[in-house]
Structure 1
Amino acid sequence: MRLDILDRGYRPGAKLLFTFIRLFSGHPVPDAAKIVFYRPDFYGARAKDATHEAMRGPSPWSVADRELMAAYVATVNESEFCTAAHTATARQAYQSEPMVTAVLTDLETAPIAEPLRATLRMLGKLLTERTVGAADMRQVLAAGATREQIEDALAVCAAFDTTARLADAFGFEILSHEGFDAGAKYLLRRGYQ
């Protein structure tokens, strides 16, 4: 059930920004962006900073890898909005729709490096079982991932586990294919600020 709070209650500056975005992009502002502006002092500003750092801050993972992680987290969480948004972004970042589709369809046979596969496997376990242990971390390290990569992947997971739950709780509107592609271009150009 979509909550109408996403369509009202914004400050005048946010309303004006939404109008400009719609005029210049030709697409509505995604609800993921709107929720950040609803209560910026409570959620928005902190969420933007944490998500931007996880997705665009210094990391041994590429931007494409982190967008794929976000799409994988959303897929495991069965969040329609976040899966579509980050699948579009990962496809554009990698310039490879078949590879992204392969990962989200069957992680074990997807054409990716073992450190990324092991990391995604660990994130999947964390999301489904709500726990991982030292043995899980040893497996990821044995596959070639570094501690820094594991920490960065967990930051991506935390950001998008939260976002996926908000998307589903608030009933984020599913955009058109063109709308998700436009959002992906924006995210790759500007990040999450």
Structure 2
Amino acid sequence: MRLDILNHGYGAGTKLLFALIRLFSRHPVPDAAKLVFYRPDFYGAQAKQFTHEAMRGPSAWSIGDRELMAAYVSKVNESAFCISAHTATASQAYDDSPRVAAVLTDLESAPIEEPLRATLRMLGKLTRDGKLATNDMRDLLAAGASSQQIKDALAVCAAFNTTNRLADTFGFALLSPDDFNAGANYLLKRGYH
């Protein structure tokens, strides 16, 4: 059920901003962007800061790797909007759509490095089960992921488990492939703030 607040819950300044974005970009404002403008003091400002740091802050993981993590967590959560948005962004970041599709189709046979595969496996388990064991971390370290990479991946997981639930609760509208690609281009140029 789509909550109407995403269509009408803004002041005049924000409505004008959305109109200008639509005019100059020739694409609709995604509901993810609309959500952070609704009550920014309560959610939006903090969410943008946390997500930007997780997705674009310093990390041994590339931007493509972190966007792939976001797409993978979204797939485990079956969040259609976020799967599409972050598949498009990861595909552009890597400049390799088949690689991203392979990971989302079959993680175990996808052509990726073992530390990333093991990290995605761990993020999937955490997202599905809501918990991890000590051996999960040992396995991840043995696969070649560093302690800092694990922390960085967990930040991506936290950001997108939250975003996925909000996307589904608010009924984010699915966009066209062109609109998702335009959004991906924006995220790669400007990030999440």
Match of 2:134 in 1: 134
**Is 1:189 the equivalent of 2:189?**
yes
How many residues are paired up? Answer: 193
Q: In the aligned structure 1, how far is the partner of 2:75 from the partner of 2:123?
A: 11
Match of 1:9 in 2: 9
SS of the residue 1:127 aligns to: helix
**Superposed counterparts of 1:9-158, under 5 Å:** 9-158=9-158
Instruction: Please report how far the alpha carbon of residue 133 of structure 1 lies from its aligned counterpart in structure 2 after TM superposition.
Output: 1.4
Q: Aligned letter for 2:105?
A: T
Match of 2:173 in 1: 173
Q: In the aligned structure 2, how far is the partner of 1:118 from the partner of 1:187?
A: 26
Cα shift readout 1:46-86 (whole Å, capped 9, x = no counterpart) = 00000000000000100010000000010000000000000
Q: Aligned letter for 2:172?
A: F
Q: What TM-score does the superposition give when structure 1 sets the normalisation length?
A: 0.99
Q: Which runs of 5+ in 2 are unaligned?
A: none
Q: What is the CA RMSD across the aligned residues, in angstroms?
A: 0.5
SS of the residue 2:132 aligns to: coil
The percent of aligned pairs where both chains have the same amino acid is 72
